[in-house]
């Protein structure tokens, strides 16, 4: 079955450490996105990538970095510069051609906690 795999499901980070969240998809979708969700709030866009080796900042990119070396993979690194990284992180994909609604397909998320 095609889908999006985010790992790990839960991640604990010490202050001052960088951590990398994995997002892998086998849907052959062109675009990939990273969103952050804080408790009781909506999703905010961190970074997105439309094609391999290209990515764009979203609304809250500070303290985060990404890479897109393969179509299937879009890892997110939460750096020590991110002052409040504790949140739920969702990866999403989208196909880049005319289809019904251009909606997202989401992964199951990674919950990051700073300890």
Site for other proteins in 70-89 (CB under 8 A): 88
Q: How many residues interact with other proteins (rule CB under 8 A)? A: 33
Taking CB under 8 A as the rule, does residue 94 contact other proteins? yes
Q: What are phi and psi of 104, to 5 degrees?
A: -90, 155
Q: Are 7 and 110 in contact (CB under 8 A)?
A: yes
Q: Does 28 bind other proteins (CB under 8 A)?
A: no
Q: Which is nearer to other proteins, 51 or 81 (CB)?
A: 51
| Rounded Cα–Cα distance for residues 5 and 89 (Å) | 12
CA distance 16 to 110: 19
CA distance 52 to 32: 10
Q: Which residue's CB is nearer to other proteins, number 17 or number 26?
A: 26
* Site of interaction with other proteins (CB under 8 A): 30-31, 33, 35, 40-45, 48, 50, 56, 58, 88, 90, 92, 94-98, 100-109, 111
């Amino acid at each position: 079955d095609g889908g999006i795999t985010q790992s790990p499901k839960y991640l604990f980070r010490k202050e001052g450490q960088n951590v990398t969240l994995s997002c892998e998809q086998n849907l052959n979708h062109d675009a990939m996105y990273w969103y952050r969700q804080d408790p009781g709030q909506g999703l905010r866009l961190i970074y997105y990538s439309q094609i391999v080796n290209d990515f764009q900042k979203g609304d809250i990119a500070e303290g985060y970095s990404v890479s897109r070396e393969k179509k299937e993979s879009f890892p997110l690194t939460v750096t020590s510069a991110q002052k409040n990284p504790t949140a739920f992180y969702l990866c999403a994909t989208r196909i880049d051609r005319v289809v019904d609604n251009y909606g997202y397909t989401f992964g199951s998320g990674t919950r990051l906690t700073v300890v």
